[in-house]
Amino acid sequence: MAPQPEKPALQAERTQLSWERSAFSFLVAGALPLFGRGPFDDGRIVLPIVGALLAILCVALGRRRAGRLSAGPKTEVVLLGWATAGFAALIVMFSVV
């Protein structure tokens, strides 16, 4: 018996879940500075805000992307990649200062 082809709806669901996991990781990474002690300096204020905005962007891009699974990596994937790199640079910058 030949293997059954995978249902396209499952692929869209897995893609949406991966975008939501990425959004959750932005929220967690942005919230970590809030658990530190000491005064609220620039890093402890900026990183949670940027993390929340990136999480919202990630969910919006994921919903947009879920409808177009047959297309190759487009604007959404490249935009999220650059946003992740920028957020990582912010974290490094504020942790060094």
Question: What is the pLDDT confidence band of residue 12, given thresholds at 50, 70 and 90?
Answer: confident
Tens of pLDDT, residue by residue over 31-78, are 888 887 777 777 678 888 999 999 999 888 888 777 665 556 677 888
* Residue 2, in any domain of the structure: no
Q: Is the dihedral of CA 41, 46, 52, 55 positive or negative?
A: negative
Question: What is the pLDDT confidence band of residue 85, given thresholds at 50, 70 and 90?
Answer: very high
* Residue 25, in any domain of the structure: yes
* Residue 3, in any domain of the structure: no
* Residue 1, in any domain of the structure: no
Number of structural domains the chain divides into: 1
Question: What pLDDT, on the 0 to 100 scale, is given for residue 24?
Answer: 92
* Residue 23, in any domain of the structure: yes
Cα(37)–Cα(65) distance, rounded to whole angstroms? 39
Domain housing 40? 10-96
- Long-range CB pairs of 79-87 (<8 Å, 24+ gap) are 80/22, 83/54, 83/57, 83/58, 84/54, 87/26, 87/29, 87/30, 87/50, 87/51, 87/54
* Residue 5, in any domain of the structure: no
- What is the pTM (predicted TM-score) of this model? 0.74
Cα(54)–Cα(3) distance, rounded to whole angstroms? 40
Question: What pLDDT, on the 0 to 100 scale, is given for residue 55?
Answer: 92
